[in-house]
Amino acid sequence: DLIASGGLADTAIGVGVDEELISAVPSHNRTFVSRNFTENEVSYCQTQPSPASSFAARWAGKEAVFKALGVKSKGAAASMKDIEIVNDAETGAPTVVLHGDAKAKADEKGISKVLISLSHSETVAIAFAQASKAA
Amino acid sequence: DLIASGGLADTAIGVGVDEELISAVPSHNRTFVSRNFTENEVSYCQTQPSPASSFAARWAGKEAVFKALGVKSKGAAASMKDIEIVNDAETGAPTVVLHGDAKAKADEKGISKVLISLSHSETVAIAFAQASKAA
Amino acid sequence: DLIASGGLADTAIGVGVDEELISAVPSHNRTFVSRNFTENEVSYCQTQPSPASSFAARWAGKEAVFKALGVKSKGAAASMKDIEIVNDAETGAPTVVLHGDAKAKADEKGISKVLISLSHSETVAIAFAQASKAA
């Protein structure tokens, strides 16, 4: 059957896109950063060529994931930390890890996978996320 | 079986992305607005903090949906109204409702679902859409 | 069963988004163009209203496909040519054709379909790609 033939089919149930001016994400503000980014995220962004761009891209990514999950984000509140975007050790690709309320909401909706991609130019960061459930 | 286990799998058959300069969407022009946006869309956009941004984001959304459906839009013609983007009463998330020729084309292709997400910065609106059919 | 009911379900395994400043893609440089774009792509872009915008959108598209495939691009190296973006004869929609290393990598991962969409404003090109495998 389908499962035996190579894996479980899944179905996209939400998508999210977000764009942010890099200058509008106050990544120089340590309180803002520690409230909204995990230690892993902070370590990663601080070692990138342009930390401000990396923080802005991750911020856009978190907003895109909230949209894909179909839940409202709480802006600058602590829950942005519930969406963690880490980099795959092998490919370097950004990967979503959910925690806390975001994970609970995803579980409730049967969401089994969240794909993400990030990009930025010199001034603008954009992100796309897609949430799927097993069919 | 698969259906009993939680729903019908579906398959993405088209995606669409679009970006628009907010200043390039003439949302102050009442003829343009009434030809291209439904009454629901107009009511929604006019009550948002930045109506011009909301109209531009919906315009980008309509273009993205046309691309995801694999049909050409007719630019500023009436058919942009066939793609209506309303907001879910519960979550506030944008949701696509198809009418007229757009619905006929989607039905012909077996498209059962169109997901959408919108975003804008101060100057640019972007949208992403994904069209799926039941597998 | 599911296959008989209308086709094989598939599952998105990667997404990619990319944005590029049009002015940052040196499409006036013939060596750059011939190393990174196929003859079909060059012919298409050169006949568009704004060749620079079309080259930049395709460049963004190639980057987005690499992200969706989960492989790193080689920047300005020849392998960008492995991702060819042609236009569907009927609808005009951009379509991805993989060659060389990119095709080998996709085959290895079981990727059976890559969807793409491109857009540009006056200054910025963006692209979205989604890679799926048969479930």
**pLDDT tens digits, one per residue of B3-51:** 333 456 788 999 999 999 999 999 999 999 999 999 999 999 999 999 9
**Out of B88, B92, B126, whose CB is closest to A17?**
B126
Task: Report, as an integer, the average pLDDT of A36-42.
Answer: 96
Three-class DSSP category at C10:
strand
Residue pLDDT tens, chain C, 135 long = 333 334 467 889 999 999 999 999 999 999 999 999 999 999 999 999 999 999 999 999 999 999 999 876 555 444 899 999 999 887 789 999 999 989 998 999 999 999 999 999 999 999 999 999 987
What distance in Å separates the CA atoms of residue C64 and residue C45, rounded to the nearest whole number? Answer: 18
ipTM attached to this prediction:
0.89
Contact C64, C17 (CB under 8 A): yes
AA identity, residue B3: I
CA C49 to chain A, closest CA, distance in angstroms equals 24
CB–CB of B117 and A17 under 8 A? yes
Size of interface A-C (CB pairs under 8 A): 77
CB atoms within 10 A of CB A123: 13
Chains that touch B (3 or more CB pairs under 8 A): A, C
Q: Does B11 touch chain C (CB under 8 A)?
A: yes
What distance in Å separates the CA atoms of residue C116 and residue C126, rounded to the nearest whole number? Answer: 11
Radius of gyration over every alpha carbon of chain A, rounded to an integer in angstroms: 15
